[in-house]
């Protein structure tokens, strides 16, 4: 099975712009979670989607949003970029049922805000 894929892998934007990141989960997985990783804050949970519904949300401002499509693919959007948004954005997918709850991560998108 193919793993979790994320596009693009690298992105450079300037302050004030917006960005959309994409995640394709492992085939058959219905849950997609997004995380932000920075050297100072470590791995921080952004939100989780299951069957096109946001089930959980972390403590991030409203500039961070996401959605999930019927094929379980997910996108996250960051509007009005700030320098502090520079980070590795990770997507993780899981089956989200008793048979398989392990989260598998994609390679991440490295976002640099100038």
11 membership: H or E segment, kind and range: strand 10-13
Give the Å distances, CA to CA, from 58 to 7, 35, 37, 54, 89: 22, 9, 13, 11, 14
Please tell me the distance from the alpha carbon of residue 89 to that of residue 44, in angstroms, as a whole number.
Answer: 10
Q: Does 73 bind other proteins (CB under 8 A)?
A: no
Q: Check binding of 98 to other proteins (CB under 8 A).
A: yes
When asked if residue 68 is in the footprint of other proteins (CB under 8 A), the reply is: no
Kindly state whether residue 66 participates in binding other proteins, applying the rule CB under 8 A: no
Binding of residue 70 to other proteins (CB under 8 A): no
- Is residue 104 a contact point for other proteins (CB under 8 A)? yes
Residues facing residue 31 across a β-bridge: 50, 94
Residues at the contact surface with other proteins, assessed by CB under 8 A: 4, 6, 31, 33, 35, 42-43, 45, 48, 55-56, 58, 88, 90, 92, 94, 96-98, 101-108, 110
């Amino acid at each position: 099975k193919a793993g979790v894929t994320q596009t693009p892998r690298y992105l450079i934007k300037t302050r004030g712009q917006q960005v959309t990141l994409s995640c394709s989960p492992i085939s058959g997985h219905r849950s997609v979670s997004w995380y932000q990783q920075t050297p100072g804050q470590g791995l921080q949970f952004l939100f989780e989607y299951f069957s096109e519904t946001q089930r959980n949300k972390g403590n991030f401002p409203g500039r961070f949003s996401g959605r999930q499509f019927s094929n379980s693919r997910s996108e996250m959007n960051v509007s009005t970029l700030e320098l502090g948004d520079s980070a590795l954005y990770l997507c993780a997918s899981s089956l989200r049922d008793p048979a398989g709850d392990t989260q598998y991560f994609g390679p991440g998108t490295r976002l640099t805000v100038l």
